[in-house]
């Protein structure tokens, strides 16, 4: 799950009960209007943010294992 400053990773859950498993919170230490997240593989994701007048419009890569 993605917010403007964090990613929550849900692992080892049963069925659709996401909170029955492990929840890992990753602080991105970057605040912008995040727009999308997609998996590159089992340990890396791409995150995009919205462009405003001065910043954004970028694509970031995040290693989930760190």
12-37 pLDDT tens trace: 999 999 989 999 999 998 888 999 99
Q: What is the pLDDT of residue 56?
A: 85
**pTM recorded for the entire structure:** 0.80
- Banded pLDDT at 43 (limits 50, 70, 90): very high
Distance from C-alpha of 27 to C-alpha of 14, rounded to nearest angstrom: 25
């Amino acid at each position: 799950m993605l917010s403007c400053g964090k990613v929550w990773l849900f692992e080892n859950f049963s069925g659709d009960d996401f909170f029955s498993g492990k929840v890992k919170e990753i602080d991105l230490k970057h605040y912008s209007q995040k727009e999308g997240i997609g998996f590159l593989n089992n340990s890396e994701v791409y995150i995009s943010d919205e462009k405003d007048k001065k910043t954004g419009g970028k694509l970031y890569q995040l290693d989930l294992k760190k």
